Amino acid sequence: MKTYENMSRERLGEILTKISMVKAGLLGDICLDVYWHADMRKSELSRETPHYPLPVVKERMSPGGGANVVANMAALEPEKVWVFGAIGDDWRGRELVRLLEGLGAEMSGVITGADYITNTYIKPLRKGFSDVVYEDPRLDFTSYDPLPVEIEEKLLMALDETAAGLDILCVSDQMPFGVISDRVREYICMLAGKGLRVVVDSRYHIGRFIGCTIKPNELEGAKAAGIDPAKLHDMDDFVRTAEVLTGLTGEVVFMTLGEQGSIIVDAGQAWHIPARKIDGPIDIVGAGDSSLSGFGLALAAGAKPYEAAYIAGLCSGVTIQQVGVTGTASRMQILDWYIKPIL
């Protein structure tokens, strides 16, 4: 196994510059993240029920799930980003479209279903007299039924009309009943077989994307490889896991390892890309989305897989230092983080 941790500034700048010519697509489970900030000092006991309500004084919304991958792509300034997914005919779907259109994304591939539910995570946050912020149980809007056939048909039609013009297709498969149905997954694999570079992040089915570059974390990878995660003790175990996966898919495996960085297995060669040490608080929400976007766009810009993994690590390193928000990583932020001295 080789180690890669010394990309030159010139090479990094070259790849980041070439991203401006990339035409990218994001297919997957796009979500809306909503934060309700409640000031409990303003709460009064209800006259009708024995409860103190949450007085919401501020509301924040941001792209989540696959939509956060779009936000991270947009931060790296490719030529164009096409979005393929599904929303409901509801306020959450309209807000999500507004946010993504504001990023310059092409939304013609987002299908609206009359009876579909826009994936939404609502996070109530309570604050009182102290600075402590308490998060209540999350409110989730999501589908618990298979993807409706009419949405599936329209989604495949939109992909068929656009795929030939893409340099990269990133797939965010996060929901048990999301838009990546069996039929959609088969279509994705067909596109990869015809030569489109496809990078997949899938929570439940990562080993089933034949011919696609896959991006599991170590736990997802172990499960797909049929390996007990408790038996992953060192880097050699991670490499063996990735080798099993590349045997299943026939393509590059990019496995993220948290604070240990990541590994790439490509054509029988394994690479370890160490993570940079971060001092101070971190927030890992959205780190995988940032990694997927950076990896996919770098590949499409001509980076070798281990170079793309290095850039993905820079992207996630930038975003996890943005505490309390689902962050993104711009080119300038990546360059600033790259030149920051390693202590």
Q: Does the pLDDT at position 232 exceed 80? A: yes
* Amino acid of residue 179: V
pLDDT (0 to 100) of residue 301 = 97
Of 33, 67, 299, give the one whose Cα is nearest residue 179.
67
Residue 343: pLDDT band (50, 70, 90) is very low
Q: Tell me what pLDDT residue 276 has.
A: 83
Per-residue pLDDT for 260 more than 50?
A: yes
- Residue 231, in any domain of the structure: yes
In this predicted structure, what is the pLDDT of residue 277? 81
**Exposure class string for 202-239: b at 16+ Cβ within 10 A, else e:** bbebbbbbbbbbbbbbbebbbbbbebeeeebeebeebb
With respect to residue 221, please indicate whether it lies within any of the assigned structural domains.
Answer: yes
Reported as a single tens digit per residue, the pLDDT across 80-136 is: 999 999 999 999 999 999 999 999 999 999 999 998 999 999 999 999 999 999 999
Average pLDDT, the chain: 93
pLDDT of residue 341: 47
Query: Is residue 129 one of the residues assigned to a domain?
Result: no
Give the span between the Cα atoms of 152 and 336, in whole angstroms: 42
Average pLDDT of the residues in 12-23: 97
Question: CB of 40 within 8 A of CB of 23?
Answer: no
pLDDT on residue 319: 86
State which residues form the domain around 88. Answer: 2-31+64-120+143-339
- Please state the rounded mean pLDDT for residues 186-202: 97
In a domain, 75, yes or no: yes
Please state, in angstroms and rounded to a whole number, the distance separating the CA atoms of residues 104 and 71. 10
Instruction: Decide if 43 is inside a domain.
Output: no
Res. 279 pLDDT band, cuts 50 70 90: confident
Q: Is the pLDDT of residue 175 over 90?
A: yes
**Stretch 239-259: mean pLDDT:** 94
C-alpha 73/C-alpha 68 separation (Å) is 8
Task: Specify burial of residue 277 (Cβ count, 10 A radius: 0-12, 13-18, 19+).
Answer: exposed
Contact assessment for residue 20 and residue 73, using Cβ atoms and an 8 Å cutoff: no
pLDDT at position 233 is: 84
Of 186, 185, 184, 178, the closest CA to residue 146 belongs to 178
- Burial class, 72, CB count within 10 angstroms (exposed 0-12 / middle 13-18 / buried 19+): buried
Q: Check pLDDT > 50 for residue 342.
A: no
Question: 66-75, 120-129, 222-231, 278-287: which has the minimum mean pLDDT?
Answer: 278-287
Separation between Cα atoms, residue 290 and residue 168, nearest integer Å: 15
Instruction: Please give the pLDDT value at position 267.
Output: 84
Instruction: Count the Cβ atoms, other than its own, within 10 Å of residue 44.
Output: 8
The DSSP call for residue 266 is E
pLDDT value, residue 329: 86
For residue 51, tell me if it sits in a domain.
no
Does position 228 have pLDDT exceeding 70, yes or no? yes
List, for residues 18-67, the tens digit of each pLDDT value: 999 999 999 999 999 999 999 999 999 999 999 999 999 999 999 999 99
Tell me the pLDDT band of 229, cut-offs 50, 70 and 90: confident
At 16 the pLDDT is 96
| Those residues with Cβ within 8 angstroms of residue 83's Cβ, 6 or more apart along the chain or in another chain | 25, 26, 30, 66, 67, 70, 100, 105, 106, 107, 109, 110
Chain centre to alpha carbon of residue 178: 14
Inter-axis angle of helices 9-18 and 331-339, nearest 10: 170
The mean pLDDT value for 213-223 works out to: 95
- Flag whether 276 is in a domain: yes
Judged against a pLDDT cut of 80, whether residue 285 lies above it is answered with: no
What span, in angstroms and rounded, lies between the C-alpha atoms of 147 and 273? 37
State the pLDDT confidence band at 155, using cuts at 50, 70 and 90. very high
More confident residue, 105 or 283: 105
Q: How many domains does the chain have?
A: 1
> What CATH number has the domain bearing residue 284?
3.40.1190.20
Q: Which tokens is 141 given?
A: 């809007």
Query: Does some domain include residue 37?
Result: no
